[in-house]
Every structure is written in C-alpha cells, then in structure tokens.
A and B are shown apart, each in its own frame.
Chain A
C-alpha cells in the first residue's frame, strides 16, 4: 500500500505540472496573438495566475486527500467482496466446509459449555448487595451462638454479623404435616445480606431471646404455596414446632428469590439464647456458619489477623473449652470463595483441558487451510502480479476463515446451549451454585472471544504463509516451487505433532481419572446398598420422648414388618453417605483422661434392632442391639471394627466399658464391620452404635431402612402405614441407599465424564488431523512415489515410506505429550484417588492407543501411495 501511494503521488505531481504549464503557455500564446511581445505576454500570464508554487502545493494536497478517500472506499468495498468470494469458495468445497465447521463447532461447544459451568460456580457474583464485603468467619468447631456474637462484637473490621444454623421445623394445621427447612439467623442477618422482608419487618435484637423468639418470616414460595399469598397471614400464629417453640407468629415474608447461600430455606426464624449467656453456659446450639459484612474499607487480611489474635485471647479466657483446633482454624475467607471452595481450582483445570481440545481443533483447521493455501498459490501470484499488496491478500485469505469462525462459533454456542439442556451433567455434579447455570452476557463474550482467538490461531498462519513474498517467482515456475511446498509441509508436520502432544496429555489425564474412578467405585462401602430404601421421618420432640417414643417406634416397625416381600427392616438416625454427623466424646476402659486436653470423639448413631441386617453390615463379634435393651436396663453399645482395634488392639472388645461424654458408662456388646460413613474416598472413622430405646430424648430424624427385592415399590404402602400410626409425623425424605452412595461420587463422576469426553474428542480430532495432513502430503508426493515405483520400488516399500513420513511427527508429538503429562502431574494429582499421577501402565496404554489412531489415520492415505500407478501419475504432471 505504501508503494502504491508513492507511485501515485509522483504521477499526480507530474500531471499537476502539466496542467499548470498548459494553462500558462496557452495564455501566453493568446496574449501574443493579441499583439504583445513574448516577454510581456509571459509577465501578464504569470501575474494573472498568481503564486504558481502555492497553487501547485494546494493541488498536491487535494490530490492526496482524494487518493486517501478512494482507498478507504476501495477497502470497504474490497472487504465486502472478500466475504462474498469467501462464501462462494466455501460453497464450492462443501466437504472442507463441513469438516472445518464441525471441527470448530465441537471445540467451541465444549469450551463454552465448560465455561458456563465455571461462570455459574466461580465467576457469577453472589446475589447480595456489595458481595465483596461478605466474609465467612471460622473457627468452625465449638462455634455456638454466644461465641459467634462475641467474635463479631470484638472485631473492629466487622460491620455486622450473623450466625446461621439450619433446622427442620414441623408445620401442622395447614394441610398435611410437613417439615419446613428453616434458616435460623441473628437479627444482624438483614444488614449482612442487605435484604428486607417484602412484607412485614425483620427480627429485632429482642427477639433473639428465648422467651420472645416465637416469630417467623415466611419464604416467598412458602407464602404462596402454603398460605395462598395472603397478606393477612402477617400477625397470625401458626403451628410450627421445634427449636424452642410449638407455635410462632408470622411477622413477614421474605422477598422472592432470596435464599441463604446455597440453602433453599422455607422459613427464617431467630437464633435464641438467654440474655447474658456466656460461651461456657451455651454448649447446646452449634452453628453451621458465621457470616459477616466487613466495615467499609476493611480487608479480608485485616479481619483474618483480628480473628486469629481474638482466638488466642479466647483460649486463655476459656481454658480447656476453646480447643486448639478452634484456634488453628480461626480465619476469614471471602464468602464467595468459601462457597466455591476447592471446586474453583478443579473447574479451572477442566477449562484448561477443554482449551487444549479447542487448540487441537484449531490445529486441524490451520492444516486444512495450509493445504488449500498451497493449492491457491498460483491464483494469489496472479493477483500479486496485478498489484495487490500483501496485506490485501492476507485480509482476503482471512475473510474465508472469518466466515468459518463466525459460523462455527455460532454453531458451537448453540450446540453448547443444547448440550447443557440435554446432558444436565453439571446438575448432578455435586458442585455448589450450579442451580444458577445459564448462558449470560459473560458466556456470550467468552464465546465471541474464543471464536476471535481461534480465528487468529487457525487463520493467520496459513494466510501469512500463502501470501509470503516470492509469489511472482512462483508464477514464473508454475507455482510448484518445491522449496515452498517443503516449507508448508514442515509446518503441517509441526502442527500435527502439537495436536498429538495435546491429545496425549489430555488422554493421559482422562485415563488416570477414569482408572481412579474405577478404583473408587470398587471400594467396599462396608454395607450392601442394593435393594435398600430409606424413609426419613421426624417425630416431633414435644410429643415423642421417653416411653412414648419407644412405644411409637415399636408399634411402627411392627406394622411395617408386615409389608409383603420385605426381607429386613431397621432404623438408624443418620443414614450413611449423607454428610450429616453426630460425634460425641468418649472415655474408654483403660484410658486416663488428660486434664488439659478435651476427650477424643467418635461418631455416634442410634439404631433399632434389625438395622445391621437390613444393610448387611456384618456383625463381627457379640450381638446386635435387642428389643430388651431399654431405658432402665444396662446401657449397651456396639463399636465398629476399627474403633475396637484402636481402643483394644488384639483383644476382645465385647464386655468392655465405654463412657459416652466421658461420664455415661456403656457396655460394649458387639462389634460390627467398618463403613465408609461419608464417602468412599474418606477414611473409616471410629463409630459407636447405641440402641434407640435407650436414648429417648427425641427430636431427631429417623431413617426407616427397608430391604426388599423391589424396595422402592414398597414406599407408598410404607408411607400409608406411617400416616396411619400418627398423621402428625411428617415424612421428610425418601431415597435409595444406592442413590445416596452415588451422590458421594457425583463430583468425581462429573470430573471423569468431562475429562473422558474431552479426551475422546481430542483423540478423534487428533486422528482427523493426522489423516488430513497425511492425505495432503501423500497427494503432493504422488508423482514422487509414482516415479519410484516406475524405477522398481515395491508397493510395500513405498507404503512404508509414506507411513513413516506421517508417523514421525505423531511419535514426536506423543513423546512431547508424555513429557507434558509428567510436568502436569501435580495438577492432575488433585483429581485422583489411589492412583499415582505418574503411572507407567496408563502412559503405555494411552501411548499405544494414540499410536494406533495415528497409524490408522496414516495408513488409509498411505495406501493410496502404494497403489499409485506410475504412468497415470507421471502423465498427470
């Protein structure tokens, strides 16, 4: 373009001079014709013309301006034409268009789908005003209401704070009995979360005292579904029992869509603690979390150091009660970070993995374009000879890529939306915040961004390559400069090598995750979850405690036992694999308590006779709990095998004494097998099982565990019996034990599915890449192969050589990919269970698989070389 301007400018100047000279000479001649002498005529003509140099300069300026204007017009016009030509070219080779578009669409779809998950979980801000000022405070252990209030009041960085607990309250008198999920919060809750009830008023500080805490705020959905959206409900008293009251006054309705973090609460009730109660006297109500809004200008770091020094002071004030663990865990974390937790890192890792898939896709496109570009050299050479500048030609080449990018990107976006709708993997992923999964502005910008980036990634290099200097020489040599072709082929090989390297790394990661998932799935959970269904009920504590409690369960279990087809039946208050837990301190026979340290704790479960049989948890020694273990008879319990071996290694545990809370003596009557209580990848913990009939305080959930060949079919009948026995006892949940176990694997299954999908995609795209490049290379070398065969080379030899030229870059890529996988071992390790990130067997398997794919993809086009008919090939030249 610069060249054009210089040339045009010089030409323009000559034209200006000529025009001016024509005018002046013409005038001179006219004046001489009127009788003036030459000198006089010349003087008059020059006078009349004025300053010649200025006029010439003016004219040059105007000319330059005009040239600029014309170029702009031409450029705009040229781009439009480029797109038209590009479209026509694509339509002319539908095969190429199809491969290019689907390759890019797959890459973009996978990336956008993954980013949508990252966006929903990690990037989307929390739905509260000024969410950056929200933090979560630890210590997590021993946190009760008085302690949470003390911490919040003694930290200058904290503007307001609220303890949060979750509780099930039983609603009666409004249709069938039901359990409502309640968020139990302080009066500061409303300032912390920046929310006001849409109807009525928030809690007052006075209402966090037990005697006055009988108030409730209804969630918007509860208000609509349970109370017909009647504004008159405010001021009414409803039968809502548990957490200190049997009925509560409705004081308002929370706004639609408001929820406390990830918890979907039906109602909000105030935390209640007698005024002036200190940490020592308040050991009952444990909070789930303490959330605070920082004062303006306060930082997480400053708040963190405040809470650490505060924890140190508290340990001195409450010796023996404020544990070392609590001091060690004292910290402040941004609320979003605390909600996202380690999911963020895992998701970014997966996004990086999908980035590799997109790069492989771009590699395929670049290779395709390179091949097309070398076929178009002659045409470009003609254009260059006619004066088209290189930048002009590059833009022209990019236009075609841009069409592919825009179409492919758009298809990818649509595919991603469809995928998210259809697959719904993320929702069963166990990830936080995935309920808000949606394609929003950020996702669209991301889709646009990666489409533009991939355009540059796959389009620019081939465009520069196709238009590189020397086009005119090409034209002279008929467009077959062998040196030129060799350069392009080298680039092809490098790209294929890179693709194979990335596919290798991804496949290794996928294989490792797959094998660790297989290992995890084969871990024995300790119980048999098949054909077992658990029905969760919550008998209200005010009606069921003591003798009535025992009678209720005996009656209920007796009626349920009559269900047809039932194999066995029992009850446990906390079902395995639910992440809920009760854990109590104990003092075992033969141990002496250390005065300075708190007692060790073990998990605590209340069971009815028959539970262990229902889940096939083996009885290793002694006996099961029995109907004769009642209030008043000697207290007994069972321990699990690990606990027994830990307390009394190599000895008989049955008959020993264990003090629950360090004070309540229990006789060990049996030992049962170990259970992975929370998840298969979590270690077995020490556990105590006590008979329900000896712990009749009530107010606890109970899971009725039914084992039968087709257990789920028994549920309606079982529900009917539960309602017959007492219509005021709500059924709060039904789940099969298989599902409960499956949910603990949800996140790992998500990671595995995503990585295996990406790995598979990488393998296919990589294979296509090798195939495409090999086809092109073999096609370009056909005359060469033909010549060799004419000179006596065997088809087998030619086939081997063709194969070798395709496999060499693949093998180099394979080695690079293996090395990259080794380098990435640390990242991968965080996704694994019981499998080392550097696993020879896995590497060998993946290498063999990729080599197989590359060989197949090379062999198909290589066959063509071996079949080359020397005569035809040479004649075609």
Chain B
C-alpha cells in the first residue's frame, strides 16, 4: 500500500483540513484523529505540519480559532470554518473531483473504476 505524504501538497492538505472542519469546530488532536479515521493508513499527515497549515488558513481568513475547553478539561484551541472557508471548500472540492476525473480518464484502463 502506497503512502501519500499529504503535507507535500499544500493545496491537498488544506482541502483535507477544510473538509474535516465542515461539520463543526475541532482542536488539533481531533483533526489529526479525524483525518486518520477518514483516510486510514493510506494517508499519513505529519503531525508537525498540521499546525502551520492551520495557522495559514487562519491568517487567510478561511478558518477562525478560539480557545475553549477539551473533553479532558484542558484549554485547547478550537478551529472552525468561516463563511469564506466554506465557499473555498466547495470550490476546491469541485475542482479536485474534476482533476481526479481528468487524470483517471488518462491513467485508468477503459471500464476500470476508481
């Protein structure tokens, strides 16, 4: 099984992060876990790279952060999608799908599905 280094693709990691936050606010640990659950072993995100990516998204106004209390009663920084981030997620998802389909048409044999 091939492992994709998600951090090598800034755009890909961003898309993953935005997607994880679509259903509500999460802190860094939760985000890590959610990605692991969704992608399984096939997609490994270097944990250290998670935070710069989150902070950049925050800087660009795509996500917002506030301090709250975690389920273990610790102070944690929670991230949530902003309206701007939601719009970006929608657009990037569409273009990602388009991209995958286009690559698939070239790479896959006729009849073979993803």
Residues in A lying within 8 Å of B, measured CB to CB: 15, 18-20, 22-23, 25-27, 29-30, 48-52, 54-55, 58-59, 62-63, 65-66, 69
Contact = CB atoms under 8 A, between A and B. Distances in A.
Given A62-B55, A65-B59, A66-B58, A50 B77 contact: no
Contacts of B76: 19, 22
B22 interface: no
Contacts of A69: 59
B29 to A, nearest CB: 4
B49 interface: yes
Given A55-B52, A62-B55, A66-B59, A22 B29 contact: yes
B22 to A, nearest CB: 21
A376 B5 CA distance: 61
Interface in B27-59: 27-29, 32, 46-49, 51-52, 55-56, 58-59
Nearest to A23: B28
Given A22-B29, A55-B49, 10 more contacts: A22-B74, A23-B28, A29-B72, A48-B46, A49-B48, A50-B47, A55-B52, A62-B59, A63-B55, A69-B59
B2 to A, nearest CB: 19
DSSP majority for the B interface? Answer: helix
Given A65-B59, A66-B58, A69-B59, A23 B47 contact: yes
B47 A49 contact: yes
Contacts of B70: 22, 26
28 contacts: A15-B77, A18-B75, A19-B28, A19-B76, A19-B77, A22-B28, A22-B29, A22-B74, A22-B75, A22-B76, A23-B29, A23-B32, A23-B51, A26-B29, A26-B70, A27-B29, A48-B46, A49-B47, A50-B49, A54-B48, A55-B48, A55-B49, A59-B51, A62-B52, A62-B59, A66-B55, A66-B58, A69-B59
Contacts of A52: 48
A301 B31 CA distance: 83
B59 A48 contact: no
Given A62-B56, A65-B59, A69-B59, A55 B29 contact: no
Contacts of A30: 29
Contacts of B29: 22-23, 26-27, 30
Nearest to B56: A62
In order of increasing CB-CB distance, the 6 nearest A-B pairs are A50-B48, A66-B59, A62-B55, A26-B29, A58-B52, A55-B48
The contact size tier of chain B is 20 to 34
A52 to B, nearest CB: 7
Nearest to A22: B76
Contacts of A19: 28, 51, 76-77
A20 B49 CA distance: 12
Contact of B27 (A22, A25, A51, A63): A22
Contacts of B49: 50, 55
Secondary structure of the A side of the interface?
helix
A19 B55 CA distance: 11
Contacts of A49: 47-48
Contacts, number: 62
Interface of B: 27-29, 32, 46-49, 51-52, 55-56, 58-59, 67, 70, 72, 74-77
A51 B59 contact: no
Contacts of A58: 51-52, 55
A23 to B, nearest CB: 5
A192 to B, nearest CB: 67
Nearest to B28: A23
A52 B76 CA distance: 18
Contacts of B77: 15, 18-19, 22
A27 B110 CA distance: 45
A641 B27 CA distance: 113
Contacts of B48: 49-52, 54-55
B59 A55 contact: no
A20 B51 CA distance: 8
Q: Which of the listed residues B32, B46, B48, B59 has the most CB atoms from chain A within 10 Å of its own CB?
A: B48
A69 B56 CA distance: 12
Contacts of B27: 22
A54 B74 CA distance: 25
Contacts of B32: 23
A20 B47 CA distance: 10
Q: Which of B29, B49, B55, B70 has the most CB of A within 10 A?
A: B55
Nearest to A62: B55
B89 to A, nearest CB: 20
A66 B47 CA distance: 22
A46 B66 CA distance: 25
A69 B61 CA distance: 11
Contacts of A50: 46-49
Contacts of A27: 29, 47
A48 B55 contact: no
A23 B59 CA distance: 20
A21 to B, nearest CB: 10
Contacts of B56: 62
A59 B52 contact: yes
A18 B28 CA distance: 12
B113 to A, nearest CB: 34
A15 B51 CA distance: 12
Contacts of B46: 48, 50
Contacts of A15: 67, 77
A752 B25 CA distance: 80
A69 B49 CA distance: 23
Contacts of A20: 51
A305 B74 CA distance: 94
